[in-house]
Structures are given as C-alpha cells and as structure tokens.
Amino acid sequence: MQLKKRRNAKLREIGTPLAAATCALLGQAVPGSVQAQELMPWDIDTSLLIYSESDGRVQDTSLSLRARKEMREEKFLDLSLTLDSLTGASPSGAAPAGVVQTFTNPSGNAQYAIAPGEQALDPSFLDTRVAMAGNWQMPVGRLSLLSVGASLSDEYDYTHTGINANLARDFNNRNTTLSFGVALANDSIDPVGGSPVGLAPMLGLGDTSNKRGDESKDVTDFLIGLTQVINRHTIVQFNYSLSQSDGYLTDPYKVLSVVDPVTGNPVAGPAGSGLYRYLYESRPDSRDKQSVFALLKRDFNGDVFEASYRYMTDDWGVDSHTAELRYRFNFGTSRYLQPHVRFYQQTAADFYQTVLFAGAPLPAYASADHRLGEFDGITLGLKYGQATTSGNEWSARLEYYTQTGNASPGAAVGSLANLDLYPDLNALIAQFSYKFGRR
C-alpha cells in the first residue's frame, strides 16, 4: 500500500515523457494487480492573457484551458482550448508621408485617413480566434513513448487543421532520449474582400477588381530531438527542426508605398481612385525554415536555472538568434519568483523593402511587413507563483516586449529621411494562471 501511494504521488507530478519514463521504471516494482485501480483526476490548467501593444495597436485577450488525464495505465489524454479576442490597429506596411494619406480598407467598402508623419495603421483589425488541440500519449514497448495529436483553429478569415505524431525512445538506462516528430498542417485563408493580386495597386472605394478568392497553404514540420541527463541536477535538450511551407504565404492585408525616388513623396495612384499608389505585397509561394535549439536546465539547491538558444535560417534570407534565460527562486515548496529575459535578433528577408520607387522595374516579390525586416527584440519578465492550501497553484506574470528595427537600405530618400520608417513596437504581456486537480 505504501508503494502504491508513493507511486501515485509521483505520477501526479509528471508532465513530460522523461518523467513518465522515470515513473514507468519505478512502476515496475509495483505488482500489476495493485495498479490503476484508483481514478486519476484531470489536471486542469487555466489562464487569462492580456496582450497589449502601445499606440493603439493590437490588443489580445485570451482564455486558455488545458486538461490532462491518465486514462489508462501510463496512457495520457491532453486537451486544450484557447479563445482569442483581437482588436486594435495593425500596420498596413505603407510608409509614413508628409501629407495626409487615404487608404481603402480590405473589404473595399470604407476608407481611412492617416495624418502626416504618422505610421499607417489599419484600424479595421478585429478578429476572434478559437483553437483546440488533442493529444494522446502512450508507451510503446518498455522504452518508447508515442504521442499523436490533432489541432484545429478558426478565425474569421483563416482556418487551420493539423495532425502530428512524435515517437521518443529511451536509451542508456533512460539517461538519453531520442525523438522524432512530424506535423502536417493545411490552412485555408479567406481574406476580407478577397485575396489581392500580388503587387497590384490598392483601388478606390467599392472597386474589388484586383481581388481574388480563397487561398491555402500546407506546412510540413519535422523535429528530431535528443534529451540527455547530465547528472542528478542537470538535463539538456538538443533539437533540429525543418519546416516547409507551400502555398499562399503572403499577408493579404499588407501593402507597400510607391514613392518618388528623389523626393520620397508618395506618387499618384490609379486614376479616379483619389489614392496614392500602394501595391499589395507579394511573397514567394514556398518557404523552408531550419532551426537548431538547445536547452539546459539545472537545479541549484532547489532553485531552477534555465537557458535556451535557437538559431533559425530560412530560404527567404532570414537568419535569427534567440536566447532565453529564466531563474526560478523557490521559496520552500509553495512559492516561487521567476525572472525571465529573452533576446531576439533577425536579419531581413531578401525581398523586404520599406518602399518601392516609382519608375523602377517591379521586383518579383516585395513586402514592407516589419516582421520580415531587420530588428532586435527584447523581453523582460517576472513571474510569481504560489500553491494554495488545497494543493492547487496560481501564478501571475508580467512581461514587457519591445522591438527596434531598421528600414531597408536606401529607403530613406528625400522627405522619408525625416520620418520614422520603423517605429518601435512595445507590448505588455500579463498572464494569470490557475492550476487545479492535482491532489
């Protein structure tokens, strides 16, 4: 009986295949007839997230629920649900100008104006997103763990469906784990007002003649991982991943300004439209990304140090480095404080251009989306967590994320030299989580 209690106490703590594998090994000491008679409760994680960008940009309120249960001996079901409510304004990609700029919104039935010198933000950004996922994890033989899953998400203009599988096998007395995963996704995009023809001009009110129908993309991900126990207090993980996307990878709501190559001023758009000239962006229809990821976790007398690094490179010309550090100060067994810092740096995609110049031949692909530009990102955060007397746990974290970037080389001509072509992005991330069900 004592054995059973100890074993169940252990099982409740586990959250990853490694721990599951550890317990499976401990479990061998338990006679089969004693196992799995007791119903395990659902472990429930809930969270409320407020993501808020400054200057009236994107605001996201998000509710998440994740439930995990041991359905049968060492077989786990994971279910998750997330609801996002997005409002605010999103950069259209157009450059600021010394004059008032008017834009037709994506639906084509309204227009908005941007004051001189201001960043062009499309105020019609509004969406609700529902995402759900399910995952089944089970042992295969004595040393392997298989998990299979499916995901689904739906937005007003976007639907995602995906499946994934991962097989992990332990070696070396369970000190080493090798894993291999595959994920397939098929997403469909049904942009408001239709998907614009690449590099076609924005048209006046009510004219949708350069918009087309739905689009789609397929994404295939491969992930190969190695987890190694270094000693009783240290574990490391190395991953290599490859992600291949094919299909419509363009952002249907982003445009580029066409400006005079000498004065930097916007040039006239289609006759009778009353607009300056803005061209819808166009991206290649395939993208291959590769990344390597390394993680180290170490226990220091009950505190936990975590460091990770990721290098990513893709065939669009983007290279990025991401480094993260966390240190969890555990105060006894019931309270902790965890500072977090994240550094991110990326180079621009080959076709990233802050503006296009009038009279120059059109490139095959072009985007002024800041997320494809050269920038640095820094996140600073602090999290506090506390166990309740009933054994549940709540935590709260506050993080500040900032992006500082550069316009594409040679973009700051004439009047553009005095304007902010890559405004900083500042965002607050506040999240409150509550976990219960663990006895």
Partner 1 sequence: MQLAMKGAVGLLITAAIGLSGCARVEPWDRDVLARPDMQLVSDPIEQATDDHIYFSKEASSGGQGFGGGGCGCN
Residues of this chain, 110-139, that bind partner 1 according to CB under 8 A: 127, 129, 131
Q: Are 155 and 124 in contact, with CB atoms under 8 Å apart? A: no
- Of these, 320, 386, 392, 406, which contacts partner 1 (CB under 8 A)? 320
Residue 397 makes contact with partner 1 by CB under 8 A: yes
Nearer to partner 1, 160 or 211 (CB): 160
> In this complex, which beta carbon is closest to partner 1, that of residue 263 or of residue 334?
334
Pairwise CA distance, residues 279 & 95, whole Å: 12
Judged by CB under 8 A, does residue 310 bind partner 1?
Answer: yes
Q: HSE-up of 106 (CA within 13 Å, CB side)?
A: 23
Q: Choose the binding region for partner 1 from 94-102, 176-184, 205-213, 269-277 (rule: CB under 8 A).
A: 176-184
Type of residue at 280: Y
Residue 359 region, left (φ>0) first, then alpha (ψ -120 to 50), else beta? Answer: left
Indicate whether 304 belongs to the interface with partner 1 (CB under 8 A).
Answer: yes
Quick note: the x/- pattern for partner 1 over 370-389, rule CB under 8 A, is -xx----x-----x------
Site for partner 1 in 260-299 (CB under 8 A): 288-293, 295, 297, 299
**What is the full DSSP assignment across 117-164?**
T---EETT--EEEEEEEEEEEEEETTTEEEEEEEEEEE-SSEEEEEEE
For the chain, how far is it from start to end, CA to CA, in angstroms?
Answer: 18
Least gap, CB of 24 to partner 1 (angstroms): 9
Q: Is 224 in the site for partner 1 (CB under 8 A)?
A: yes
Q: How far is the CB of 84 from partner 1 (least distance, A)?
A: 8
**Cβ atoms of residues 352 and 408 within 8 Å:** yes
The least distance separating partner 1 from the CB of residue 360, rounded to whole angstroms, comes to 25
The token duo for 49 is 């997230």
- The least distance separating partner 1 from the CB of residue 57, rounded to whole angstroms, comes to 11
Footprint on residues 410-429 left by partner 1 (CB under 8 A): 425, 427, 429
Q: In the block, which residue shows the tokens 């997330």?
A: 82
26 binds partner 1 (CB under 8 A): yes
CB atoms within 10 A of CB 11: 17
**What would you measure as the largest C-alpha separation in the chain, in angstroms?**
85
Size of the site for partner 1 (CB under 8 A): 105
CB nearer to partner 1: give 97 or 219: 219
Pairwise CA distance, residues 109 & 208, whole Å: 9
Q: Does 7 bind partner 1 (CB under 8 A)?
A: no
